[in-house]
């Protein structure tokens, strides 16, 4: 489904995503994710890359898909899932490039991504979106179904196919190499009050200091 722009400016997406879909997402966009995503955390990512190293196929066709960095807690009777909040995205950095090479288009997690991963997102036309940290119970309300499809022995970290309805995220790193967290602080960043190691480029600071 192409990216749907809602009346309030939010965008609704569902996998599989095309390159054009990804290009329609820019940093700062509030996005509602519906349909199928695949839940996988550290241990599952490690196993998937090990499978690739052995020449084996992954448990699901990753082309155009969205992966959510989550390990849901066990559900209570009558509930679809337990808490389903995101885990820290940078923990997956060492495995992310291999999956992007295979066509992964969307990633959801918590926190930011470093320069290396931002470059990979740009190279492979993919997008990283952040979910609300600490809001696992609220996130669970958007989960309409889930099933374990691989690595059941990993329990909460098994790979799951999850069905979502308007799961809210925002675009942190788009396919143009931009970073929402870095750009939003520029107007207020006071580099002259910070040690050199903590300074970041801003338009004003760059002009006064020969670039940045």
Catalytic residues: 45
Residue 88 burial by Cβ neighbours in a 10 Å radius (0-12, 13-18, 19+): middle
The per-residue DSSP string of 102-117 comes to TT--EEEEBS---HHH
Alpha carbons 42 and 56: distance in angstroms, whole number: 19
Alpha carbons 75 and 160: distance in angstroms, whole number: 14
């Amino acid at each position: 489904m192409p990216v749907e722009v809602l009346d309030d400016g939010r965008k609704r997406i569902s996998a599989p995503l095309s390159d054009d879909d990804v290009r329609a997402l820019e940093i700062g966009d509030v996005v509602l994710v519906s349909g199928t995503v695949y839940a996988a955390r550290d241990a599952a990512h490690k196993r998937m890359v090990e499978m690739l190293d052995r020449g084996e196929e992954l448990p699901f066709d990753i082309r155009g898909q969205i992966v959510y960095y989550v390990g849901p807690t066990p559900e209570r009777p009558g509930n679809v899932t337990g808490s389903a909040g995101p885990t820290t995205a940078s923990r997956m950095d060492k495995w992310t490039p291999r999956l992007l090479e295979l066509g992964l288009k969307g990633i959801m997690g918590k926190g930011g991504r470093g320069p290396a991963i931002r470059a990979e997102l740009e190279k492979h036309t993919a997008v990283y979106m952040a979910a609300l940290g600490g809001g696992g119970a609220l996130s669970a309300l958007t989960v309409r179904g889930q099933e374990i499809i691989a690595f059941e022995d990993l329990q909460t970290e098994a790979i799951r196919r999850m069905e979502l309805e308007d799961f809210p995220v925002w675009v942190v790193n788009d396919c143009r190499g931009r970073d929402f967290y870095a750009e939003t602080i520029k107007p207020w960043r006071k580099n002259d009050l910070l040690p050199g190691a903590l300074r970041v480029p801003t338009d004003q600071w760059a002009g006064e200091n020969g670039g940045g």
